[in-house]
Structure 1
Amino acid sequence: MTDAAAVERARALLAENPVLDGHNDLPWALREKVGYDLERCDIAQDQSARLHTDLARLRAGGVGGQFWSVYVKAEYQGDKAVSATLEQVDCVHNLIARYPDELQLARTADEVEAARASGRIASLLGAEGGHSINCSLATLRGLYQLGVRYMTLTHNDNVPWADSATDEPAANGLTAFGVEVVREMNRMGMLVDLSHVAPSTMRDALRATRAPVIFSHSSSRAICDHPRNIPDDVLAALPANGGVAMATFVPKFVLQEAVEWTKAAEEALRERGLDPLGTSPEAKAVLQAYEKANPKPTATVATVADHLDHMREVAGVDHIGIGGDYDGVAFTPEGLEDVASYPNLIAELLDRGWSETDLAKLTWHNAVRVLKDAEAVARDLQRTESPSIATIEQLDGAAQ
């Protein structure tokens, strides 16, 4: 564990260069726990008994910007997925309206910087899974108009036009319509998020994109061989693309010993008819009972730092960031229990010899730069390209 002096130094660094985190699932947690009734879960109050996130802990953690995930379950399909995504977007807008002195909607890199200058937490939106657009580029544009600034191409299941990391291969990457989705995102200025997608999809997207990509919450596959992580050849391609890989804290993605334990724990949930990704009280109780009988391997701050060390070595310090995935997981690493914990990670990296300049890139500057670069590409493309009216039937034809 890092010492108190290193943590204080980390807090000082974060006061100047706060965290712009790539992924937090608070909106889904609010949907599941209180049906979006923000009176029943006031994040201006201490919510540590049921959430990883509240305003005081965001401040304590040195968070200056947050991509709020507007995730919906991959089982939600068609219009149900679109409607649920809109409800998630509405939740984020309601949070921002409810706490105007703390949160500020950010649609551009300049607005991110302006929020920081005003002392507010820049609040961006990221859609987690291409099922949210129901194979409609017009729906994709509608989400952009509502403030969504990245879309993860898949979640845990394939979409008709892209393969997921945790499903059986079907498209072997991106279909022709999948390429069109990527290119339309480039034209708008919406970041292409390659977390959750298969390596074949990652590589196809890197070939198709005209703008930098992100991984909003993925770590290194060389350090932990889980399909949700990023292979080294993809990390090595990020400098040419300009993109950013944001290391996540999820124990089952960062600690090799946790992979098999997690598979068995998820099977215990399935046997009881519960969602293996669920964070409901029932799911937590089952997991706690399983853990009591089968103590889980413990990820730590050092485990996450190992990923960042490797990602920096392969991709370069200009192409890494942080995406904690708080309120989207049942377990967190020791020392990274909630959004107040970022100083512990920065202190660990300071102890490992990371410079303050490099840490400032990790926490803030890389993420802001990738937003700016995507906006610049979009401005250029919009001079010569009109909104795409292509359909999946036109481009993928009989494959559908």
Structure 2
Amino acid sequence: MTMFRSVLFVAAALVAAPAAAQTPEEVAAAALDAAPVWDGHNDVPIQLRGRWNNAIADFDFEDTTDTGPEHSEGRTMHTDLARLRQGKVGAQFWSVYVSADLKEPEAVQATIEQIDVTRRLIDKYPGDLALALTADDVERAVANGKIASLIGMEGGHSIGSSLGVLRQMHAIGARYMTLTHSKNTPWADSATDTPAHDGLTDFGKDVVREMNRLGMLVDLSHVSEKTMHDALDVAQAPVIFSHSGARAINGHARNVPDSVLARLPENGGIVMVVALPGFLSEPARQWFGNRQAEKARLEALWQGQPEAVTSQLTAWDAANPLPQATISDMVDHIDHVRKLAGIESIGIGGDYDGMPSGPVGMEDVSGYPALFVELARRGYSRAELEQISYRNMMRVLRAAEARAIAAAAQSPIETVGPKWGSGED
């Protein structure tokens, strides 16, 4: 073979050789660079209320790793600016949760205070955070290297059974509302309360309609299965589950049943898969049930002797360690949502700072890249990872906004809700 032919042969071989396959780490990194995580639920605002009574002049959000046992929660916060950057978070729904035990008028006030402290926190860090009220705002913030900051209300008790209050919450920045939290509202059943309405009441259906008219996302985490179906029957825009798993993988009532997953493609909604271990790992869910039963047994055996109950429950804990949830468990939920509802129906909703810890390897918000590496290991393409991290949620918000534009000529719904605190339908 002549020298000339040898050179041609080598050159042709180099051209024909396939490019080296990217590692899962490389695929995940490329996806998150192009489409950073848009997280559906983070509870920093209630940490600000519980730990600092919403006085944040001296609160350092650059680094919260010193927020340990000396504070009321007794654990280190999961979220700060440094770890959000580490976690490749580009957009965040901050949850303005208030206790479902509050009477409705008190819940309304507390929610306004939580929206206020969230907006003050965003304003305090203009180099890192940007208030986002629209999809365009999110895109602009991400393009400028800031974390787009949206506000989500966790629990319909926060509107005091008033569509007027709902409209004003939207006006001051709320862009989704979870229809219930842990307890029923006077117009909707919760997943974790005794059913009172068989789903949504007529007023509850008007809440969904008015949210669609406003362009406010309807969040179905925390609601009963019947409420989920009623909302899907009424909704004219995609719904979200801001922080839920798949009930077929973990049977907790907070997770989404297959009957609802099957309806999501038609609606266009998404399940933003949660990182809370008790919702991810079925052995962990069983452990919590067993521990609750053991505590009840000990309290029956040792009535009036709380020290005996405490010491024996401590011994039970030592003999029965809590099964740990893993990143792989979280991906199992994502796999299941994909199987039933498709890749377009998946997002991420960590629930950080609203739980004791995330799964092993994702204990705080810095752990999202590890989740996407595991997804890549399971064969998810870069394009699919970008859908999960960011693009599905962007599509949903734009669809909600499009619905509001289409309904611009419609008058506000004026249905009068149940009397505050009465439970009347």
TM-score under structure 2 length normalisation: 0.85
Paired position in structure 2 for 1:112: 138
Q: CA RMSD in A?
A: 2.5
Alignment of 1:159-238 (within 5 A): 159-238=185-264
> 2:37, 2:319 → 1: CA distance?
37
2:32 aligned with 1:17: no
From 371, 385, 404, the counterpart of 1:378: 404
Aligned residue pairs total 382
> 1:311, 1:128 → 2: CA distance?
23
> 2:355, 2:418 → 1: CA distance?
36
Counterpart of 2:51, as a letter, is: K
Change (3 A) 1:264 1:71: farther
Paired position in structure 1 for 2:72: none
Structure 1 counterpart SS, 2:243: coil
Counterpart of 1:320, as a letter, is: I
Paired position in structure 1 for 2:112: 86
Paired position in structure 1 for 2:77: 51
Q: CA deviation at 1:12?
A: 3.3
Stretches of structure 2 that go unaligned for 5 or more consecutive residues are 1-21, 69-75, 298-312
Q: CA deviation at 1:313?
A: 0.9
Q: CA deviation at 1:15?
A: 1.6
Counterpart of 1:387, as a letter, is: P
Paired position in structure 1 for 2:391: 365
2:55 aligned with 1:37: yes
Structure 1 counterpart SS, 2:93: strand
> 1:262, 1:319 → 2: CA distance?
29
Q: CA deviation at 1:393?
A: 4.5
User: What per-residue deviation string (whole Å, max 9, x for no partner) do you get for residues 101-135 of structure 1?
Assistant: 00000001111000001110000000000000010
Does the aligned pair in 1 maintain the 2:161–2:418 contact within 8 Å?
Answer: no
Q: CA deviation at 1:291?
A: 4.7
Does the aligned pair in 2 maintain the 1:46–1:56 contact within 8 Å?
Answer: no
Paired position in structure 1 for 2:101: 75
Paired position in structure 2 for 1:302: 328
Paired position in structure 2 for 1:251: 277
The answer to which of 41-50 and 320-329 deviates more is 41-50
2:170 aligned with 1:126: no
Does the aligned pair in 2 maintain the 1:41–1:47 contact within 8 Å?
Answer: no
Paired position in structure 1 for 2:306: none
Q: CA deviation at 1:9?
A: 4.2
Change (3 A) 1:87 1:265: farther
Q: CA deviation at 1:308?
A: 0.3
Q: CA deviation at 1:331?
A: 2.9
Paired position in structure 2 for 1:274: none
Q: CA deviation at 1:22?
A: 0.3
Paired position in structure 2 for 1:389: 414
Change (3 A) 1:197 1:270: farther
Q: CA deviation at 1:5?
A: 5.7
Counterpart of 1:386, as a letter, is: S
Q: CA deviation at 1:293?
A: 5.2
> 1:390, 1:34 → 2: CA distance?
38
Counterpart of 2:287, as a letter, is: W
Stretches of structure 1 that go unaligned for 5 or more consecutive residues are 272-286
Structure 1 counterpart SS, 2:168: helix
Does the aligned pair in 1 maintain the 2:186–2:418 contact within 8 Å?
Answer: no
Paired position in structure 1 for 2:44: 26
Structure 1 counterpart SS, 2:149: strand
TM-score under structure 1 length normalisation: 0.90
